[in-house]
Amino acid sequence: MATSSIVARQAADATTTEIVRRSLESGAEQMKRALIRTAFSPVIYEGLDFAVALYDPRARLLAQAPSLPVFMGTLNFCIEAAVEGVGGESELADGDILVYNLPYSSGTHQQDVAMIMPVFGGGNLVGYSAIKAHWLDLGAKDPYCTDTEDIFQEGLIFPGVKLYSAGVLDDGIFRMALANSRVPKSVAGDIEAQVVGVRAGASELRRVVERFGLPTFESAVEQIFDQGEALVRNYFTSFPDGTYVGHGKLDNDGIDDTPIPYEVIVEVDGSDVRIDYSRSPEEQLGPVNSPLPITVSASRVAIAMLAGAGESPNEGSFRAIEVLTRPGSMFDPNPPVACFLGTWSSQQAIEVIYRALAEADPTAVPAASGADTCVLTWWGKRAESGETWADGITHPVGQGAHSAGDGASSLMYLSDAGTRFAPVEVWESRNPWYVEQLALAQDSCGAGEHRGGLGINIAFHLLEDCWMTSATDRTTTPPPGLSGGGEARPNRIVVRRPDEDAERYFGKVTRLAIPKDTVVEMQTGGGGGYGDPARRPTEIVNRDLEEGYVSPGFAARHYARQVDQTG
């Protein structure tokens, strides 16, 4: 094996390696296109609530297509656990497709189902094609939950089973999934789409291996990994060594209203980076516990986005990163504690990591964003047909300003950076509501030499009775600025019922009754400002006023010098 490896390393030159890299990325993109074109649910084909990737036989990331970054770093855990669940690599056959969703090895709630296809070439296992995608409903206590107390309330569990064995569908597994869903038509369509996607990826991976031959392919892969590692290490070689601490706070655990403060320690030693969660709080009663895979993934996303120079990450990009946790804590919980909102904890940890690194170099990271995916999930029975419907929507937030400029407005949070905001027309055509307002939220940004990005206001007017779950956090902690920049507004849900005079405000809430003609307004947070507001050029303040990004009152409060100059 050692001799073969040496020969292989000599086989792939730089040009071949680059062709292999781009061929693998193209293969991942083909998976993504196949899934989008065949999916039934807008959360997949419009919202892109999924991750697609190709892996080698050791479950090392070869290539991915832009989608949901925080899912990506969990797929290697899913592959390893699913293969173990069916009896190990020796039990795999050409044409198998495995499904897995146990949170402690998948990283996310049970509705995010990983589908994995082993890829064979010349009789040898050459890798895996993998997709994790959100199924609208999988038999949890509610279609979306913020108040669960164990994973048995959170949906059907696939602990590593074969949906297809050597190309033959296990009809019992398929029917079990549909029998545990309130919206079986949607789930059936999305299962089939995921199958199409992993088969497309398997075909592409096999084609690349066959084109170059296994020795040359393996050589190119090792060089691709080495290049990814070098890119990250080169960045941190110039970063000041030290131990830095970032502090964060969740609103609550979904059951108890008590805020949950936590800290993340970041150690930089040469080109090595250690992300340490060992001081994090104990496991929580509510579902905000972040399983180890998503904790690791969020840490990798934070570092790869910072140090990756815009390149698509691969396994080598993660070699410089070590993640430490404490079993039994909020960032590494033990079964069977609830995990439905674990992603919310891990995704906020990304900004806490940046806050820690800002201690060493505030020019290296942005100020805080709205720091949440601001999910609303809706469901009910259609008035005319009596058919159950469901939909889930993530909402964009304002991004933090940085040393080079203003923060972006109305973008998905960092951990969901590859996802997108579905068109209003899609929502209104499928669901019983119309959208009264969709607009950038004036004054939602943090002031600064560079201002933060704006959040949005979107108001849904319901045309039928339904229920809603809001999985929205960071409603009590405004996004802070950096280097003297101001804080932005936090997230908030406003509910105006037709039979009530007063508005009601929410963050996390499960199965909230929404009568017909209720208006639900999502107000997403803005991005924190960067630098002293007094240093913002007068002409740019005036431009913000002209565009309506800030009001005259906001400008008078935060940019008094500039306003005085213009009279």
Q: Are 108 and 71 in contact (CB under 8 A)?
A: yes
HEC letters along 276-339: ECCCCCECCCCCCCCCHHHHHHHHHHHHHHHHCCCCCCCHHHHCCEEEECCCCECCECCCCECC
Q: What angle do CA 201, 205, 207 make, to 5 degrees?
A: 115
Q: Write the single-letter amino acid at 164.
A: Y
Nearest by Cα to 407 from 369, 355, 458: 369
DSSP characters for 418-464? T--PPPHHHHHHHSSEEEEEEEE-TT-SPPSSBPPPP-EEEEEEESS
Instruction: Find how far residue 302's CA is from the centre of its chain.
Output: 12
| Sequence-separated (6 or more) residues with CB below 8 Å from residue 19 | none
pLDDT at 562: 87
User: Alpha-carbon distance 203 to 197, whole Å?
Assistant: 10
Q: What is the pLDDT of residue 8?
A: 40
C-alpha Rg value of the chain to the nearest Å: 24
Joined together, the tokens standing for residue 363 give: 């020019």
Residue 502 and residue 295: Cα distance in Å, rounded? 40
Cβ-Cβ contacts under 8 Å for 171 (sequence gap 6 or more): none
Q: What is the pLDDT of residue 238?
A: 86
Tell me, what's the pLDDT at 49? 85
* Residues 113, 114, 117, 118, Cα dihedral to 10°: -140
What is the model's pLDDT at position 461?
97
What DSSP state is assigned to residue 154? S
Count CB neighbours of 35 within 10 A: 28
pTM of this prediction?
A: 0.93
Q: Report CA-CA distances (Å) from 164 to 149, 168, 423.
A: 33, 5, 35
Query: How far is it, in rounded angstroms, from Cα 293 to Cα 288?
Result: 14
Which residue bears the tokens 């905000």?
288
Which residues, listed in sequence order, are joined to residue 402 by a DSSP beta bridge? Answer: 405
pLDDT at 416: 62
Q: State whether the Cα torsion 25-27-28-33 is positive or negative.
A: positive
Rounded CA-CA distance 109/106 in Å is 8
Select from 414, 404, 418, 443 the least CA-distant residue to 526. Answer: 443
**What is the residue type of 285?**
L
Give 72-108 as a 3 state SS string: HCCHHHHHHHHHHHCCCHHHCCCCCEEEECCHHHHCC
Averaged over successive runs of 10 residues, the pLDDT of the chain (567 residues) comes to 40 91 96 95 85 96 84 89 97 98 95 97 95 93 95 96 98 96 95 98 97 95 95 91 96 96 96 96 97 94 81 89 97 97 92 95 94 91 92 92 96 68 85 96 98 97 97 95 97 94 92 97 97 96 96 96 74
* pLDDT confidence of residue 567: 55
